[in-house]
Amino acid sequence: MRMSELTRADVAHLAGLARIELSDDELDKMVGELGIILESVATVQNAPIDDVAPMSHPMPLVNVTRPDEVRPSLSPEAALSGAPEQDQQRFSVPRILDED
Amino acid sequence: MSQATAEATLPFEEALAAYDPVLGLEVHVELGTNTKMFCGCATAFGAEPNSQVCPVCLGLPGALPVVNEKGVESAIRIGLALNCEIASWCRFARKNYFYPDMPKNFQTSQYDEPIAFNGHLDVELADGSTYRVEIERAHMEEDTGKSLHVGGSTGRIHGATHSLVDYNRAGIPLIEIVTKPMTGAGERAPEIAKAYVATLRDLLKALGVSDVKMEQGSMRCDVNLSLMPKDSTTFGIRSETKNVNSLRSVERAVRYEIGRHAAILSSGGKVTQETRHWHEDTGITTAGREKSDAEDYRYFPEPDLVPVAPSAETVEALRATLPEPPAARRKRLQSAWGYSDLEMRDVVNAALVDLIDETVTAGASPAGARKWWSGEIARRANDAGSDVPTYAASLAVTPAHVVELESLVTGGRLNDAMARQVWDGVLAGEGTPTAVADARGLELVQDTGALQAAVDKVIAANPDVAQKVRDGKVQAAGALIGQVMKEMKGQADAAAARQLILDSLTN
């Protein structure tokens, strides 16, 4: 069980991936709190699961599809109605930093 | 502003003397379905911004995706055409990343359970040899939205103050086709890369699953390349050049990256694992972001979509719909049509195979079909910036027109020069070949009396030439035929004129 070995760098990396800005204090705090959460969750690893297939879907269904037929879309006005900013009938978003 | 500065490169031959390239290609194909992969929004190209979006493809809370049946069928057909095994059970996965081109903050893709895997595609090279490209996998996913970067001077992200996003493309079905690393290609690596993409494009077109227009982005190619020293079998660090979107660019990008890697390695440096941007204008690549590890995408099974589990019967039924592979079809048709290798290559390059096939099936001779579809109409299509099939369709000129034109010649109504005039009329929208010939009064003179009179006149005017023919120099009759045709204002059958001249001079 390695989850309790969560490091400060791990948390900083995850925060970066999740685009969450954490201060140094918050990072320190999260290392401890996330470590406890992971340890708690890790108890499920003690369950006897040798004969149990992993389950990603609770319903025993496969091949649920729809025919390739066009259905009405939202109007552009409706689609954009929840956007904090819009311009030229497009969603306006902050520039993407340091990536191209 | 990105600095498109060229890095040092080693000359191609020098690079290959020291290193073996290892090549991998990832091709994304937009399927030509009517609707998106997980919702019923239309997929029309060029629609007004954000007019083909709904709660599912906008990632609004509570929206639930449902898989497009045709998308799965197309994926399986592509897999079968690439000689892949088809998964009997597989799932979609969420690829998590934050980027405004996907409003859900993840892309629905497949991770370790692709629908198709372990295939191959044989690629013909210019020297007639064949290289087998091994296919790692083909998986289903969805396209992203399109961003306009505003505020920068070049439309690129650098210097932009904000981005404007149109989600019409978000959710359009994509199939990503990934090769296994290709080794042993050596100096042929650039050619193999180009030939693979060209062969794949033809195959996907024949399958009818995509319009495969690289210039419109419905087929996009990423080039992965690394070098290893000649005596090594350990792969080097690779670069991934994104969005290399023409056949010629695929070849150039491979060449460039071979030279760039070789320059770094030969000077004792280390290649950075990163994505690279291809610059079509200058033919170079520049550094993009450092490549994320797969674990950074935190893939997990998509809980909102149930697994895809095609039965063996379904797979076999789809296999039965596969067309004849394009390479095999070209070989068969070339043999049936009696074209030389050069003639066939020209016909293939001009995208005339289907049109000629239809025309020959409709009753024309293979030689006639090739002649009429590749002469004047090809020149006009080129002027219009189009290819012949598209141009002919826009003019409503059909294989039946060619059949009719040819029958007017073989039936003796028109000679070749007249047939060309009639074809001009057909292309100008004057109607069917018969209608054009009628309207323009084009018809060979069938009156042998008038032809004989012209022959007599020309013989009388050219006693020297006539004597040569009498003395057995039959080829001298050519000069007389020309004059007879002139006398007849072109409306005579040259073969009949020749026969009359010979009859007059040898009897």
Give the whole-angstrom CA distance, residue B241 versus residue B221.
9
Please choose, from the candidates A39, A76, A69, the residue with its C-alpha nearest in 3D space to the C-alpha of residue B164. Answer: A76
Note the pLDDT of residue B1: 38
Tokens of B69: 């049946």
Strand ranges for B201-244 from DSSP E: 219-229, 239-242
Please choose, from the candidates B395, B394, B344, the residue with its C-alpha nearest in 3D space to the C-alpha of residue B374. Answer: B344
Please choose, from the candidates B70, B35, B32, the residue with its C-alpha nearest in 3D space to the C-alpha of residue B53. Answer: B35
Note the pLDDT of residue B334: 96
Give the whole-angstrom CA distance, residue B59 versus residue B73.
25
> B136 φ, ψ to 5°?
-75, -50
Give the whole-angstrom CA distance, residue B446 versus residue B454.
13
Note the pLDDT of residue B72: 98
Whether chain B has a CB inside 8 Å of the CB on A73: the answer is: yes
Position A13: which residue type? H
Q: For residue B95, give Cα distances in angstroms to B83, B250, B382, B477.
A: 27, 27, 44, 79
Of B52, B60, B288, the CB nearest to A73: B52
Restricting to B residues 291-320, those with a Cβ less than 8 Å away from any Cβ of A are 296, 298, 301, 303, 305-310
Contact B272, B290 (CB under 8 A): yes
Whether chain A has a CB inside 8 Å of the CB on B41: the answer is: yes
**pLDDT of B242 strictly over 90:** yes
Angle, CA of B224, B228 and B234, to the nearest 5°? 95
**pLDDT of B133 strictly over 80:** yes
Note the pLDDT of residue B205: 92
Angle, CA of B43, B48 and B51, to the nearest 5°? 60
Exposure string over B369-408, b if 16+ CB within 10 A, otherwise e: bbbbbbeebbebbeeeeebbbebbeebebbbebbbbbbbb
pLDDT bucket at B15, cuts 50 / 70 / 90? very high
Please choose, from the candidates B101, B97, B169, B180, the residue with its C-alpha nearest in 3D space to the C-alpha of residue B138. Answer: B180
**CA B143 to chain CA mean position, Å:** 21
Give the whole-angstrom CA distance, residue B404 versus residue A56.
64
Q: Calculate mean pLDDT across residues B130-145.
A: 97
Give the strand pairing for A86-87 and B130-142.
Answer: unpaired
Which H or E element spans position A94? strand A90-94
- Of the candidate ranges B256-270, B305-319, B413-427, the one whose mean pLDDT is the lowest: B413-427
Which residue of A lies nearest to B242 if distances are taken between CA atoms?
Answer: A100
Whether chain B has a CB inside 8 Å of the CB on A87: the answer is: yes
Whether chain A has a CB inside 8 Å of the CB on B173: the answer is: no
Whether chain A has a CB inside 8 Å of the CB on B66: the answer is: yes
Q: For residue B183, give Cα distances in angstroms to A8, B16, B189, B234, B250.
A: 41, 13, 9, 11, 17
pLDDT bucket at A25, cuts 50 / 70 / 90? very high
Q: Percent of chain B at pLDDT above 90? A: 66
Q: For residue A52, give Cα distances in angstroms to A60, B191, B304.
A: 15, 50, 22
Q: Which residue has the higher pLDDT, A86 or B502?
A: A86
Contact B195, B129 (CB under 8 A): no
**pLDDT of B288 strictly over 90:** no
Edge-first strand order for the sheet with B300-301 is B106-109, B93-96, B300-301
Q: How many helices (H) and strands (E) does chain A have?
A: 3, 3
pLDDT bucket at A4, cuts 50 / 70 / 90? low
Exposure string over B92-131, b if 16+ CB within 10 A, otherwise e: bbbbbbeebbbbbebbbbbbebbbbbebebebeeeeeeeb
- Radius of gyration of chain B measured on its C-alpha atoms: 30
Give the whole-angstrom CA distance, residue B163 versus residue A83.
13
CB atoms within 10 A of CB B351: 14
Q: Best interface-test mutation with A: which of B3, B35, B48, B50 has the largest number of A CBs within 10 A?
A: B50
Question: Between chains, do A91 and B164 touch, taking CB under 8 Å as contact?
Answer: yes
pLDDT bucket at B153, cuts 50 / 70 / 90? low
Q: Calculate mean pLDDT across residues B346-356.
A: 90
Residue listed under structure tokens 């400060």: A8
Note the pLDDT of residue B155: 56
**pLDDT of B256 strictly over 50:** yes
* Alpha helices, DSSP H, located in chain A: 8-17, 24-42, 76-80
* All structural domains of chain B: 12-295 (no CATH), 326-440 (no CATH), 448-506 (1.10.10)
When the pLDDT of each residue in chain B is averaged and rounded to a whole number, the result is 91
Please choose, from the candidates B24, B26, B27, the residue with its C-alpha nearest in 3D space to the C-alpha of residue B226. Answer: B24
**CA B254 to chain CA mean position, Å:** 20
> Coil, helix or strand for B289?
strand
Residue listed under structure tokens 């039959």: B474
**pLDDT of B407 strictly over 50:** yes
Beta-bridged to residue B164, according to DSSP, are A92, B148
Q: Calculate mean pLDDT across residues B73-97.
A: 97
Question: Between chains, do A91 and B310 touch, taking CB under 8 Å as contact?
Answer: no
Position B154: which residue type? T
Note the pLDDT of residue B167: 97
Position B417: which residue type? A
**CA B371 to chain CA mean position, Å:** 22
Contact B419, B399 (CB under 8 A): no
- Which chain B residues are within 8 Å of A80, Cβ to Cβ? 50
Please choose, from the candidates B208, B91, B185, the residue with its C-alpha nearest in 3D space to the C-alpha of residue B131. Answer: B185
**pLDDT of B225 strictly over 60:** yes
Q: Calculate mean pLDDT across residues B443-456.
A: 81
Contact B81, B203 (CB under 8 A): yes
> Coil, helix or strand for B192?
helix
**pLDDT of A100 strictly over 80:** no
Whether chain A has a CB inside 8 Å of the CB on B35: the answer is: yes
When the pLDDT of each residue in chain A is averaged and rounded to a whole number, the result is 87
**pLDDT of B3 strictly over 70:** no
Question: Between chains, do A57 and B301 touch, taking CB under 8 Å as contact?
Answer: yes
Q: Percent of chain B at pLDDT above 70? A: 96
Q: Which residue has the higher pLDDT, B157 or B334?
A: B334
Q: How many helices (H) and strands (E) does chain B have?
A: 18, 15
Give the whole-angstrom CA distance, residue B65 versus residue B41.
12
Q: How close is the nearest chain B Cα to the Cα of A11, in Å?
A: 13
> Coil, helix or strand for B164?
strand
Contact B351, B377 (CB under 8 A): no
Please choose, from the candidates B99, B14, B104, the residue with its C-alpha nearest in 3D space to the C-alpha of residue B65. Answer: B104
- Which chain A residues are within 8 Å of B42, Cβ to Cβ? 70, 73
Give the whole-angstrom CA distance, residue B416 versus residue B493.
9
